[in-house]
Amino acid sequence: MTKDRLGFGILGAGLVAPFHAKGIVHADGGELIAFCDLDQGRVQRLATEYGVQAYSSLAEMLADPRVDIVNVALPNHLHYDAVMACAAAGKHVLTEKPPAMTLRETDAMVAACRQAGVRFGCTVQCRVRKAIQAIRGAVEAGRFGALLHADAYMKWFRPAEYYRQDAWRSLRRAGAGVTVQHAFHYIDLLQYIAGPAARVQAQMTNLAHPGVELEDTLLAFIQFTSGAQGVVEASTALWPGTDVRIEINGTDGTAIMSGERVVAWQFREDRPEDQEIRTYGSVAQATGASSATAFGFADHQVVIQDMIDAIREQRDVVIPVATVRPTLEIVLAMYQAAARRTTVELPVTDDDSVWSA
């Protein structure tokens, strides 16, 4: 028998943890049970704020029978060990992006969760925005005609203090570069909308953050298997930061999302629903352009609510990690292309050297 309320434990007490906490608190049928982090100051502050348990080790939190679901909000290179431990303990898992640093780790995590019979989702929450769902629906309905372009522009700003507040944020091997840490969400949207990639070119540079060993700027080109092409421009160097733009163009239509808003929705043939779709999103909702905490928790709440509903309805989650694996593959291809200064064909195999370059 399923409990009236499913218990959540949040692993990690850093910048993103409060967004998960708010999503859980506002979800129907969920209950925040605990935070867990090695940093006792951080975890105790959050636990006190939300009136929940503070754990200093994952093993302790996994032993708590009230915890049914673990939200993994750790630095990127620590996801694998945490997810494997959660699966072994029979806990459902929502992991932050990227799911892991390698394809082999991702595949092992998916297999472990499947074998344990637990749900395994990824928090690439931008997928659930109404604008993105409308664009994907229009692609599936053939409204764009032949898809020609799928582009993402993320021109953000993060001060030097952002990279200094946690040791891992300035380490390439921890997955802190702009490509895998920030642009992952928007590369994921292109993959989600336009489908698999065939080949990738990329250039990575550090324009404005001396003293850190990673790229703060990405310029990349994607050729999709559909024949469409795409550009990714991503940076945390561009003051003061502007909203992300996702631009989709075809022979019969154009759609553009800025932030979470639909700012262009034009097709050769209008449909009755188009007028409403043009109103999707709010200019008042911050989406992270100028600060790591300048965005809302509504998208997280949708993903968290879906996890609760999926467990109750005995179905898969809306964003299974297996559907995010192709995004990680594109990101890895970008790092390989930048390191080798050549075009990289997909599929790729893991190349751990890109994390130490």
CA–CA dist 53, 64 (Å, integer): 10
Whether residues 192 and 337 fall in one domain: yes
Query: What is the model's pLDDT at position 211?
Result: 85
* Whether the predicted pLDDT of 1 surpasses 60: no
Region 157-186: mean pLDDT is: 96
DSSP structure string for 53-81:
EEESSHHHHHT-TT--EEEE-S-GGGHHH
According to DSSP, the β-strands at 53-55 and 30-36 are: parallel
Mean pLDDT, rounded, for 199-226: 96
Q: What is the CATH number of the domain that holds 151?
A: 3.30.360.10
Residue 179 lies in a domain: yes
Q: What is the pTM of this model?
A: 0.97
Q: Is residue 255 located within the same domain as residue 175?
A: yes
Residues 277 and 139 in one domain: yes
- Mean pLDDT, all residues of the chain: 97
One domain, residues 89 and 156: no
**High-pLDDT (> 70) share of the chain, %:** 99
Pairing verdict, β 253-258 and 120-123: unpaired
Report pLDDT digits (tens) over 130-156: 999 999 999 999 999 999 999 999 999
Q: Do the domain assignments include residue 357? A: no
In a domain, 354, yes or no: no
pLDDT for the residue numbered 254: 98
Number of domains the chain is built from: 2
Say yes or no: 151 and 273 in one domain. yes
Burial profile 166-175: b = 16 or more Cβ within 10 angstroms, e = fewer: eebbbbbbbb
Beta carbons of 233 and 205 less than 8 angstroms apart: no
Bridge partners, residue 119, by sequence: none
> Does 115 share its domain with 147?
no
Whether 98 and 141 share a structural domain: no
Reply yes or no on whether the pLDDT at 110 is more than 90. yes
> What digits encode the pLDDT tens for the residues 213-248?
899 999 999 999 999 999 999 999 999 999 999 999
Same domain for 236 and 133? yes
Residue 146 contacts residue 227 (beta carbons within 8 Å): yes
Structural domain boundaries enclosing 311: 6-123+297-319
Domain harbouring 301, CATH code: 3.40.50.720
Amino acid at position 75, single letter: P
For residues 231 and 109, state if they share a domain. no
225 shares its domain with 337:
yes
- Residue range 30-80, pLDDT digits in tens: 999 999 999 999 999 999 999 999 999 999 999 999 999 999 999 999 999
Dihedral sign computed on CA atoms, order 148, 220, 136, 259: negative
Structural contact between residues 266 and 206, judged by C-beta atoms closer than 8 angstroms: no
pLDDT band at 2 (very low <50, low <70, confident <90, very high): low
Share of the chain above pLDDT 90, in %: 97
Domain membership of residue 229 (yes or no) is yes
